[in-house]
Amino acid sequence: MNEQEQDDKIDRALDALRFVDDPEVGLNVVDLGLIYEIDIDPESGKVTCLMTFTTEFCPMGESIQSNVTEALKMTFPGAEVQVNITFDPPWRQDMISEAGRMYLGG
């Protein structure tokens, strides 16, 4: 897989994750700034996503993680998908995209 194909797959992953909302905020996980990294192994096709939540005690965290996993599995059928959670660095409001800030009224 060349670099352009890799970039296209990552774009597809991000597009799929724009349909996964944080139900407490009402904004998708990409524009909310919860997705830190997406890696797609060129050999195995394994999709690894590194993400965070707005707080370590996010009551919807398990549900959001499950929805992210399912969105990636639907986008890359047959691929192994792993979604890892980190709080380093911790999420901050300035991680929200410009489109997200506009949606939230700011």
Write down the pLDDT at residue 82: 99
Average pLDDT, the chain: 96
Rounded Cα gap, residues 87 and 71, in angstroms: 22
- H helix or E strand, kind and range, residue 15: helix 3-17
Residuewise pLDDT in 10s, the chain (106 residues): 788 999 999 999 999 999 999 999 999 999 999 999 999 999 999 999 999 999 999 999 999 999 999 999 999 999 999 999 999 999 999 999 999 999 998 7
In the chain the domains, ranked by start, together with CATH numbers, are 3-91 (3.30.300.130)
Q: What share of the chain is helix, strand, coil (3-state, %, to 5)?
A: 35, 20, 45
For 49-78, how does the pLDDT look when each residue is reduced to its tens digit (9 = 90+)?
A: 999 999 999 999 999 999 999 999 999 999
